[in-house]
A and B are shown apart, each in its own frame.
Chain A
Amino acid sequence: MGAYLVRRSFLMVLTLFGMSVLIFVMLRLVPGNITDIIFDSAGFVNEKQKKKIEQQLGLDKPIVTQYANWIAGLAKGDLGYAYVSEKPAIDEILPRIPVTAKLAVLALVFSVLFGVPLGVISAVRQNTALDYCLRVVSLSGLSLPSFWLGLLILMAFVQWFGWIPIYQSDPGSLWKEIALLSIPAAAVGFRSSALLMRLTRSSMLEVLRQDYIRTARAKGASDQVVNYDHGLRNAMLPVVTIIGVEAAFLIGGLIVTETVFNIPGVARFLVEAIRWRDYPIVQNLVMFIAIVVVVVNFLVDMTYAMLDPRIRYES
């Protein structure tokens, strides 16, 4: 296990290093550089003044030096300055994380609350009308674009309640904030809940086919005990892992949902920063996302190893 941990950690660092190179290079392929964009709001471009800005931002240095400066800064915890706002990048990114995290947690809660029980029901009642019905619903969850769902929700609220559930920076109370955030969270969580439900169902079915379940049934255990006691417990392992992976990947869905609901989180900020070619923001945010994903994957694997004694990590 120790050797495995070392190897995994090494690979994690390697992956993140690779990501940093990839994102750095890709950003510099983007048509139009930051100085053009800084000038855009002035409605013209002055080449001389542009050169000066490039110098100030260090964009005139060779790309390797720029990369080295970035990484050296990262190692010291210095993310550099945002080009557009001229504030430290960290001050732009950090305050936006809590709201995104809250949304992600709510979305996960939503998806687990709906996905897991419905998946179990679907598996236990396999091939009944109920099962078909639930499967179609879950498939539709994977088919509706979450931004469209969000728009429909917004339209419905305005149509029927004359009120629009958009983000407020100071909602008053925690409960009010949760209530406000739970609407977009549901729009994102719908997809994850569908995914969870499908996974729970197939995992359940898999387990229910196993020999020990048959044995239990043969020994005369009740359906109740077989399905929920033996079945569910063993089916949960892959479900737990997928919850972990989903948690990291929710950010994809959050990008559009934060845009639709006008929530000032990191996910929407990424799109804005890309549009503004604000390299320090984009590259640091992408690294942040990559770190979250890699670490979550690692934790998931560890949990798996601990929960399932059959898995042994030998290298």
Chain B
Amino acid sequence: MRLKPVFIVASALVAAFLVATPAPAQKQGGTLRIYHRDNLPSASIHEEATISTVMPFMSVFNNLVVYDQGKKLNTPETIVPDLAESWAWDASRTRLSFKLRQGVKWHDGKPFTSKDVQCTWHKLIGKDPDDFRKNPRAIWWHNLKEVTLKGDHEATFNLNRPQPAFLSLFASGYTPVYPCHVSTQAMRTNPIGTGPFKFAEFKRGESVKFVRNPDYWKKGRPFVDAIEWKVIENRSTRILAFVAGEFDLTFVTDVSIPLLKDVTSQAPKAVCEVAPTYVSTNLIVNPAAPPFNDARIRKAMALALDRKAYIEILSGGKADISAAMLPPPEGVWGMPPEFMRTLPGYAADIGKSRAEARKIMQGLGYSEAKPLKVKVSTRNIAIYRDPAVILIDQLKQIFIAGELEVIDTSIWHAKVTRKEFAIGLNLTGIGVDDPDVNFYENYSCGSERNLTQYCNKEVDALILRQSQEADAAKRKTLVWEIERKLVEDLARPIVMSDRSATCWQPQLKGFVLHHNSIYNNWRFEDVWLDK
């Protein structure tokens, strides 16, 4: 017997929320000016895995559901309707149905229907002939069998197995709904969405422009007439320009802690919020390259890491020591500090850990006079190079003489994928603060973005278990168990989880920075300029 899905009337909740907050009188008009830090690769969010694309282009689209743009933390409870008015699981917990909003139009005037939803996800799982030329988040949807339709305004996602966190995947800025009638190629250069802003112009290395969508389905939104992004690759130049008032908002987390002092003193009225970037600095070790196939050496390296020193130098002491998940208070799933201290290599007394590491290395025949020589590879960007230099300095303590090998930034991932490295220093950003996203993407067997191709069947089984666990508290303990295993296996030792500031001018109102992901709050439909 099939139970009739009970749709949550979430829009009523949102309406109630809007009434509850005394909203200041928003002003209409103006151009929102934001700087961009680098060359954005393409306009197609689904084909890229970088904030460089998501941050500007999220405003062109809508998702089915989205993390509340007005709340700082992303949790399963802050997921609000977007193109889906409501959603419901069936009794088997393997079918998730979305009731779609009616009367929504794409920017080119065509109506939005359930077909578009089906198309988008069939492209993501490789079922559509015009598939994405790159599909970095295919692993997110590994549990999705197919999307079935009921009329023009209902779509059902059929899963292989229950996955309670499945809905969270839809709420990310990484998960917009694409139009069926526009080719994936066109979406890279001239994206069409249903969102509050229409794409206007993209001058490579110079600027990206968006204009207000007058037919936006959310009445009265957006408030600003246009968004103008200007690319400035040199960080001092762009921060100077922000201080001089040329921009309303900085690129997300662009103001590092050492630079923050300058901004707050030069532009005292600017609002600066320090938040986790949820980009972790991590060590990748190629287990296939001798002598690192020896677990003892990998353990010694883990023991040698002085995380405090990294945090002190790179973030003025502000960043967090972390395991795989973002630690509390911002992180929803991260382990408490007292649990973390029990992980190997996370002990407070680094001297003791290093002595142990040296003993291991001596046992393997290395010494001050006869160190293990190794190349430490990293990408040719300061945020990669700086921690790599510190790593080399720290490895010196345990008789490992590292030599920095700087890899042209454009071929870094290619080199790593082909395992042309011994030790590497890498940064990993997490799209959604949910274990499914992080674990499947980075640690599961066979995932394309699992850079070291770490594979432990036991861990895989645990990942599957936590993914099916509906009870949040029980899931947390499973998650922590996995994190401990990952640390013990040195899957991808996390050196730190960074914190950095995002700043905006006081005239920018209605903007809320998310604190446990940088990828999800760029819809810009609620922001307005008080000029």
Give chain A's interface residues, CB within 8 Å of chain B: 31-32, 36-46, 49, 52-53, 56, 84-87, 92, 95, 154, 158, 162-164, 166, 169, 259-260, 262, 264, 268-269, 272, 275-277
**Does residue B413 face the partner (Cβ distance < 8 Å to A)?**
yes
Determine whether the beta carbon of B414 is less than 8 Å from that of A85: no
Interface pairs A-B: 8 shortest CB-CB: A32-B411, A36-B414, A41-B41, A264-B206, A42-B136, A43-B49, A37-B410, A42-B134
Q: Inside 8 A of A45's CB, which chain B residues have their CB?
A: 413-414, 417-418
Residue pair A275, B48 in contact (C-beta under 8 Å) = no
CA distance A46 to B133 in the complex (A): 10
Task: Report the Cα distance A53→B188, complex, angstroms.
Answer: 14
Known: A37-B410, A43-B50. A164 touches B240 (CB 8 A): yes
Known contacts A86-B188, A154-B237; A40/B412 CB under 8 A: yes
In this complex, what residue of A is CB-closest to B441? Answer: A43
- Inter-subunit contact B410/A40 (CB<8 Å): yes
Mark B112-142 against chain A: 1 for CB-CB distance below 8 A, else 0: 0000000000000000000001111000000
A272 touches B414 (CB 8 A): no
Residue in contact with B134 in the complex, picked from A39, A154, A276, CB distance below 8 Å: A39
Tell me, rounded to whole Å, the shortest Cβ–Cβ distance linking B220 to chain A.
29
- Assuming the contacts A40-B413, A41-B50, A268-B205, asked whether A32 and B188 have C-beta atoms less than 8 A apart, the reply is no
Task: Name the residue on B nearest A34 (C-beta).
Answer: B410
Q: How far is the CA of A31 from the CA of B418 in the complex (A)?
A: 14
Is B48's CB under 8 angstroms from A166's CB? no
Q: Mark B49-85, 1 if CB is under 8 A from A, else 0.
A: 1101100000000000000000000000000000000
| Distance of A158 Cα from B133 Cα, bound (Å) | 44
| A-B pair number, CB within 8 angstroms | 117
Instruction: Tell me if A38 and B134 are in contact (CB < 8 A).
Output: yes
The reply to whether B205 and A46 form a contact with Cβ atoms under 8 Å apart is no
The answer to whether A42 and B48 touch across the interface, beta carbons within 8 angstroms, is yes
**Any chain A CB within 8 A of the CB of B312?**
no
Residues of B near A163 (CB, < 8 A) are 244
> Of B49, B205, B408, B449, which is in contact with the most chain A CB atoms at under 10 Å from its CB?
B205
Contact of B204 among A31, A40, A84 (CB under 8 A): A84
Is there a chain A Cβ closer than 8 Å to B448's Cβ?
yes
Is the Cβ of B237 less than 8 Å from the Cβ of A275? no
Say yes or no: A39-B413 contact (C-beta < 8 A), given A169-B207, A260-B234, A264-B206: yes
Of all chain B residues, which has the CB nearest A277? B410
Most chain A CB inside 10 Å of its own CB: which residue of B39, B232, B410, B417: B410
When the two chains form their complex, are residues B189 and A262 in contact, meaning their CB atoms are under 8 A apart?
A: no
**Interchain Cβ contacts under 8 Å between A and B, 12 examples:** A31-B408, A36-B410, A39-B414, A40-B409, A42-B413, A45-B417, A46-B134, A85-B204, A92-B204, A166-B232, A262-B232, A277-B410
